[in-house]
């Protein structure tokens, strides 16, 4: 979703005469009428906005994008044959479905995988993937000691492409999604695209000067400033974690370096951690027992209770306010996510995977590694050294929403 800091396109342009960009809308994901819907309209709209911007930028440089709905594993070989291309470059992914597709594709075509999703790749780790520390703090200490972070790749100046694409970017409604009205209570008017990502990063870090107190504000619930809000763009690649890292460094050199500036990097390390957990454990992060060798967890799996949670109709007002924010805007704060997940699992006795699937559909910033990694953690089948992380909800609401501003905002 970006041309800046993009190893994949940089290599393709260096090594090939003609480069055609291809975007596959995976059918199981771009399928709004499915009973087990995996992506709602809010995220679909954000992705289409990002693609529109990318398409324009690529056209200005002389290239073009072919948009295809289907399965990458079928469509990529077909497109290559129809255009007479001899190789395919793609950014390597970490989660199971994606890595399986990479494996199946590599059996059929000349597939060249590059890095770019995170700060580090498997080969950079100071340990073998099989020895990935089970606990985050140990992972952090080990990778931080090594602490070499590559510089950003520069954006291409031109794209040589003599092929004419046969398709155009589809619209939201032509794909079967519905237009979503914006809600003025939303933390931010998120708009897709690499330029939008940079614009917001610049505003939040430099103009609004929020980074210098991020450690104190990061558990907030209301408004644009309490956390970076970069996750929607990071998740689909409009901006890279390496670009964010170098922006933090610049701010530290030019303005101030303190606990808060470090803490934003610390959070990016959680993102890295869950990427490697996904890579290490493959399909296990999508299974009820997660990565723990434990007995099958007994859950109530009661559809009515689960529906009440989804719709924000539980006996707990703090949970409800968060769930309504999610349904209305596709956003929920980190503090909110922890509370509603813990409430579903520990108080309502429901299956953590049902909650994770609901988040998968609803979240604007959905990422398989971060979502299932965090849910496993809270469900007691992940990387948490304390297996029963139940919250005291009265205390949480009192502490984080003392005057009820957040609850009043959403529970009208
Ligand atoms: C149950 C649950 C589900 C979650 N699902 C997702 C998801 O699908 N996609 C997603 O990006 N994050 C997910 N998170 C992590 C976290 O809540 C969001 O990344 C964060 O709230 C995004 O807001 P921000 O960009 O303002 O974050 P900031 O606080 O500004 O942090 C900066 C960046 O660090 C990364 N980050 C921060 N916290 C975490 C974390 N706990 N785990 C992984 N990365 C983190 C994100 O990329 C984030 O954009 C989940 C957390 C929980 C508890």
What CA–CA distance (Å, rounded) separates 393 from 315? 11
**Claim to verify: residue 131 and residue 271 sit in the same structural domain:** yes
The answer to whether residue 177 is domain-embedded is: no
Give the structural domain span for 296.
287-410
Closest CA to 359 of 42, 72, 100, 93: 42
**Residue-by-residue pLDDT tens, the chain, 412 positions:** 999 999 999 999 999 999 999 999 999 999 999 989 999 999 999 999 999 999 999 999 999 999 999 999 999 999 999 999 999 999 999 999 999 999 999 999 999 999 999 999 999 999 999 999 999 999 999 999 877 999 999 999 999 999 988 899 999 999 999 999 999 999 999 999 999 999 999 999 999 999 999 999 999 999 999 999 999 999 999 999 999 999 999 999 999 999 999 999 999 999 999 999 999 999 999 999 999 877 666 677 899 999 999 999 999 999 999 999 999 999 999 999 999 999 999 999 999 999 999 999 999 999 999 999 999 999 999 887 776 667 887 888 899 999 999 999 999 8
**Ligand 1, closest atom to CA 375?**
1
How far away, in angstroms, is 61 Cα from ligand 1 center?
Answer: 33
The answer to whether residue 161 is domain-embedded is: no
**Claim to verify: residue 133 and residue 59 sit in the same structural domain:** no
**Claim to verify: residue 144 and residue 270 sit in the same structural domain:** yes
Which residue stretches of 123-256 are H helix?
Answer: 136-146, 194-202, 214-217, 231-236, 241-254
How far away, in angstroms, is 211 Cα from ligand 1 center?
Answer: 16
The answer to whether residue 373 is domain-embedded is: yes
CATH number at residue 13: 3.40.50.620
Q: Is 2 helix (H, G, I), strand (E, B) or coil?
A: coil
Phi and psi dihedrals of 157, rounded to 5? -90, -30
Q: Residue 269: its pLDDT value, please?
A: 98
Mutation test residue for ligand 1: of 221, 271, 383, the one with most atoms within 8 Å of CB: 271
**Partners of 66 in beta bridges:** 22
What CA–CA distance (Å, rounded) separates 16 from 85? 10
Q: Residue 395: its pLDDT value, please?
A: 87
Q: Kindly list the protein residues whose Cβ atom lies closer than 6 A to any atom of ligand 1.
A: 218, 227-231, 234-235, 264, 267-268, 270-271, 274, 333-334, 337-338, 341, 359, 363, 365-367, 370-371, 374-375, 378
CA dihedral 67→54→197→4, nearest 10 degrees, is 120
The answer to whether residue 38 is domain-embedded is: yes
**Claim to verify: residue 94 and residue 1 sit in the same structural domain:** yes
Whole-prediction pTM: 0.98
Element (H, E) at 88: strand 88-91
The answer to whether residue 345 is domain-embedded is: yes
**Claim to verify: residue 266 and residue 393 sit in the same structural domain:** no
Residue that is last in its domain, among 267, 282, 297: 282
**Ligand 1, closest atom to CA 378?**
1
Element (H, E) at 65: strand 65-70
CATH number at residue 382: 1.10.579.10
Mutation test residue for ligand 1: of 231, 266, 358, the one with most atoms within 8 Å of CB: 231
**Claim to verify: residue 317 and residue 354 sit in the same structural domain:** yes
Tally of CB atoms within 10 A around 191: 18
**Ligand 1, closest atom to CA 235?**
11
For residues 21 and 66, the answer to whether their CB atoms sit within 8 Å is: yes
**Claim to verify: residue 204 and residue 301 sit in the same structural domain:** no
C-alpha dist (Å) from residue 331 to 74, 286, 326: 33, 22, 5
Sign of CA dihedral 234, 71, 13, 106: positive
CATH number at residue 126: 1.25.40.80
**Claim to verify: residue 106 and residue 212 sit in the same structural domain:** no
**Claim to verify: residue 30 and residue 143 sit in the same structural domain:** no
The answer to whether residue 176 is domain-embedded is: no
Residue that is last in its domain, among 257, 282, 307: 282
Counted domains in the chain: 3
**Claim to verify: residue 261 and residue 301 sit in the same structural domain:** no
Structure tokens at 133: 């520390």
The answer to whether residue 17 is domain-embedded is: yes
Q: Residue 147: its pLDDT value, please?
A: 74
**Claim to verify: residue 362 and residue 305 sit in the same structural domain:** yes
**Claim to verify: residue 371 and residue 351 sit in the same structural domain:** yes
Residue that is last in its domain, among 116, 136, 160: 116
The answer to whether residue 109 is domain-embedded is: yes
How far away, in angstroms, is 131 Cα from ligand 1 center?
Answer: 24
Q: Residue 296: its pLDDT value, please?
A: 66
């Amino acid at each position: 979703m970006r041309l800046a800091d993009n190893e994949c396109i940089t290599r393709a342009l260096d090594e090939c005469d003609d480069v055609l960009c291809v975007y596959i809308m995976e059918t199981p994901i771009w399928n709004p009428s499915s009973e087990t819907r995996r992506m709602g309209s809010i995220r679909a709209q954000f992705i289409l906005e990002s693609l529109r911007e990318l398409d324009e930028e690529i056209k200005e440089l002389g290239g073009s994008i072919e948009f295809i709905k289907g399965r990458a594993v079928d469509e990529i070989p077909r497109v290559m044959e129809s255009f007479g291309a001899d190789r395919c470059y793609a950014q390597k992914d970490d989660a199971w479905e994606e890595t399986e597709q990479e494996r199946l594709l590599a059996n059929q075509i000349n597939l060249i995988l590059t890095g770019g999703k995170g700060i580090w790749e498997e080969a950079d780790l100071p340990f073998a993937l099989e020895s990935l520390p089970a606990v985050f703090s140990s992972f952090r200490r080990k990778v931080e000691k090594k602490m070499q972070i590559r510089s950003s790749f520069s954006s291409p100046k031109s794209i040589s492409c003599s092929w004419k694409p046969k398709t155009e970017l589809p619209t939201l409604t032509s794909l079967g999604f519905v237009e979503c009205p914006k809600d003025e209570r939303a933390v931010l008017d998120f708009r897709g695209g690499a330029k939008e990502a940079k614009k917001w990063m610049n505003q939040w870090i430099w103009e609004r000067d929020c980074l210098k107190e991020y450690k104190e504000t990061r558990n907030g619930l209301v408004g644009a400033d309490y956390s970076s809000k970069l996750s929607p763009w990071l998740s689909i690649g409009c901006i890279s974690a390496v670009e964010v890292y170098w922006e933090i460094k610049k701010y530290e050199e030019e303005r101030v370096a303190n606990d808060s500036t470090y803490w934003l990097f610390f959070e990016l390390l959680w993102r890295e951690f869950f990427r490697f957990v996904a890579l290490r454990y493959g399909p296990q992060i999508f299974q009820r027992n997660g990565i723990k060798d434990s007995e099958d967890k007994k859950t109530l799996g009661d559809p009515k209770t689960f529906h009440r949670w989804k719709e924000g109709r539980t006996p707990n007002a703090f949970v409800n306010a968060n769930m309504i924010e999610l349904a209305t805007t596709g956003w929920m704060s980190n503090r909110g996510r922890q509370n509603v997940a813990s409430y579903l699992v520990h108080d309502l006795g429901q299956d953590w995977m049902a909650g994770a699937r609901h988040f998968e559909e609803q979240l604007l910033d959905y990422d398989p590694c971060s979502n299932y990694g965090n849910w496993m953690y809270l469900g007691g089948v992940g990387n948490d050294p304390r297996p029963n992380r139940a919250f005291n909800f009265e205390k949480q609401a009192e502490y984080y929403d003392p005057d009820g501003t957040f609850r009043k905002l959403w529970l009208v």
